[in-house]
Structure 1
Amino acid sequence: MTQETKRLPETDIRAILRAADELIAVGGRTLLAKILKGSREKKVLQLELDHCPAYGYFKGVKLDDVIQKIDWMIDYDFLDIEYSGKLPMIVFTERGWEIERDQMADELLHEWDNWLATEKQSPDMHYLKDRNRGMILLLLDKVKETNDEKYIPYLKEWEKNDYKKVRAAIWSTIQALESDEAANLDAARERNASMQKALRGFEIRDVWLKCWECGERFLFTVGEQQFYKQKGFVDPKRCPSCRAKRDGDIWME
């Protein structure tokens, strides 16, 4: 992939992150691309990845083109590659998780709204136990920011089944909804500003690194950065000359 690859729109970024959430640290680029393409491959169906909301988002797009979009997400620090043995696995970067955590919290809150619309009573809230703690606390913040008492019955059901720290946060949310005080939306505004900053990404440029061995500076090009990132390598610590000399010394031994 080249630096000139067209920037992905926000909707595509969010869809790729949502699909990645289904296989973080258990699947790689190709499997992620198959979710987004809507593949009916046996493995996709066995893992029930066809239930993902982003399944088939890029239906009709060639698989190689979907993989190129995923590579763009890796290049621009929304996703990363970590190796499990020799297998490359997709993981979130800090930037990618900030966005995905927010949209997952929104997805859960939307699910509650759908349940309330159908007058669903006393749902089993065990499904929220052992979820990412940061995402769960964000969900509670979003509930609190609605200032709507309609969520209290669900919160009380949830409070019965979770861990002590989460129960305390749930109870605090219930108390806030029962009070007459208007919700403080400053945190929500700050969060939205941070989200927009994360979605904008950053420009990839050639960078100068300092060699740990000889102390000279050397150019780490965009192409090299992309290659290292997709292979799961850390940035080089030595300049090309010192690397070549070191490799030669090892070979001589």
Structure 2
Amino acid sequence: MSKQNTMSHEEIKAILRAADPIIAQGGRTLLAKILKGSKEKKVLELELDKTPFYGFFKTEKLEEVTKKIDWMIDHDFLDIEYFGKLPRVVYTERGWLIESDQYADGLISEWRDWIAEGQENPDMRYLKDRNRQMILLMLEKIKESGNQGFIPYLKLWEKIEYKKVRAEIRETIRVLETGEPVHELEVQERQNKIEEALMGSAPYDYLLKCFECGERFTFTVGEQKFYKQKGFALPKRCKECREEYSSW
């Protein structure tokens, strides 16, 4: 288990945001270098210095930043999956719940900047083929904003999107044009889920059933971390049966 005891909500969100461009493509070391603000050649070649929260932990040692990432893995915000023999960082369900919410907020904030700048014809293709769940969440948040200044951008977006998303965009335009009130209870429920997710959960030992003898055995936190780092499947045998099996 990581020696990092706890982290603030701000730190959790920063690590999740910084991880976005390397999800399923890079490992913990690369993520640590992004957060540290490394000037390493690979980081710059991949333009990861343009990543949100690049250098967020620039005053800390790389080893300490890595411990923070391990804490995120231990507490079920991030996970490690193996693609071939290479370990890659991925979001857990909890991590993606938080990240999709703040990602959608970031996209909407950019639209607000466009309105302030008087930008009229932005290229909306950057939204095509984005995660569908996050896009639908973004549209819900736009409805909740009641901001009719978003309507021209929605109309531009509708022209380049797929059928199902176009229907949701049209519905969002309708809600903004009519001033239909939002369901405050649904908004509050979503916010409560985000707050609950940010609390995380400490890792714990749990029981597995032995494939050989049928007895239950403890799979400790330390063993879980080791198996995860190595990309091993869950053990099917208890310690005694493993030792007996290996002696055959």
Q: Same fold (TM over 0.5)?
A: yes
Asked if structure 2 preserves the Cα contact closer than 8 Å seen for 1:155 and 1:174, the reply is yes
- Relative to 1, partners in 2 of residues 1:72 and 1:111: Cα closer, same or farther, differing over 3 Å? same
Per the TM alignment, residue 174 of structure 1 is displaced from its structure 2 partner at its CA by: 0.2
Aligned amino acid, residue 133 of structure 1:
R
Q: Distance in 1 between matches of 2:209 and 2:129?
A: 43
Partner of 1:145: 144
TM-score between the two structures when normalised by the length of structure 1:
0.94
- The match for 1:36 is 35
Q: Secondary structure at the match of 1:213?
A: coil
Counterpart of 2:6?
7
| Counterpart contact for 1:81–1:231, Cα < 8 Å | no
Supply the AA of the counterpart residue of 1:131.
R
Match of 1:21, SS state, is helix
Q: Which residues of 2 match residues 68-83 of structure 1 at below 5 A?
A: 68-83=67-82
**Aligned 1:1-253 pairs, distance under 5 A:** 1-2=1-2, 5-249=4-248
Aligned length: 248
Residue 228 of structure 1 deviates from its aligned partner by 2.0
Residue 18 of structure 1, CA deviation: 0.6
Moved more, 234-243 or 126-135: 234-243
Following superposition, the deviation at residue 133 of structure 1 comes to: 0.5
Q: Gaps (5+ residues) in structure 2? A: none
Q: Secondary structure at the match of 1:160?
A: helix
Question: 1:203 deviation in Å?
Answer: 2.3
1:180-220 CA distance string (max 9 Å, x none): 32122222111111111111111222222221221111111
Checking the alignment, whether the CA contact within 8 Å between 2:74 and 2:202 is kept in structure 1 is: no
Q: 1:230 to 1:188 in 2, by over 3 A?
A: farther
Give yes or no for contact 2:98–2:194 (8 Å, CA) kept in 1: yes
Aligned counterparts of 1:211 and 1:85: Cα–Cα separation in 2: 28
Whole-angstrom distance in 2 between the partners of 1:146 and 1:194: 20
Deviation at 1:230, TM superposition (A): 2.8
Secondary structure of 1:22's match? helix
Report the Cα distance in structure 2 between the residues aligned to 1:231 and 1:15, rounded to whole angstroms. 26
Q: 1-side partners of 2:158 and 2:247: how far apart?
A: 63
Contact 2:4 2:67 in 1 (8 A): no
The code of the aligned residue for 2:233 comes to V
Task: Provide the alpha-carbon RMSD of the alignment.
Answer: 1.2
* 91-100 vs 175-184, greater mean Cα deviation: 175-184
Q: Say whether the 8 Å CA contact 2:37–2:55 is kept in structure 1.
A: yes
Letter of the aligned partner of 1:20 in structure 2?
A: A
Matched-pair identity in %: 60
TM-score normalised by L of structure 2: 0.96
Tell me: CA distance 1:71–1:173, structure 2 relative to 1, closer, same or farther (3 Å). same
Q: CA deviation at 1:232?
A: 3.0
Partner SS state of residue 21, structure 2: coil
Point out where structure 1 has 5 or more consecutive residues left out of the alignment: none
Contact 2:146 2:179 in 1 (8 A): no
Structure 1 outlier segments of 4+, above 4 Å? none
Q: How far 1:156 moved relative to its partner?
A: 0.4
TM-aligned CA deviation for residue 93 of structure 1: 0.7
User: Are residues 180 and 11 of structure 1, via their aligned partners in 2, closer, same or farther at CA, if it must alter by over 3 Å?
Assistant: closer
